[in-house]
Amino acid sequence: MPRRTFSIGEAAERTGLSVHTLRFYEKEGVFLGPVRRVGGRRVYTQDDLDWLYLCIRLRASGMPLPLIRDYAALVREGDSTAPERLALMRRHRDRVIAQIDELNHCLALIAHKVALYEEHLTGGDPLWTSSCAVREDEPDGPQPGG
Do residue 115 and residue 99 come from a single domain? yes
Pairing between β-strand 36-38 and β-strand 5-7 as defined by DSSP bridges: unpaired
**Mean pLDDT, residues 67-72:** 96
- Tell me: pLDDT of 117 over 60: yes
Element (H, E) at 116: helix 82-121
Do residue 19 and residue 65 come from a single domain? yes
The CATH number that applies at residue 38 is 1.10.1660.10
**Mean pLDDT, residues 84-102:** 98
What is this structure's pTM? 0.76
Contact partners, residue 28, CB within 8 Å, separation at least 6: 65, 69
pLDDT per position as a tens digit, 19-59 = 999 999 999 999 999 999 999 999 999 999 999 999 999 99
Number of domains in the chain: 2
- Tell me: pLDDT of 141 over 80: no
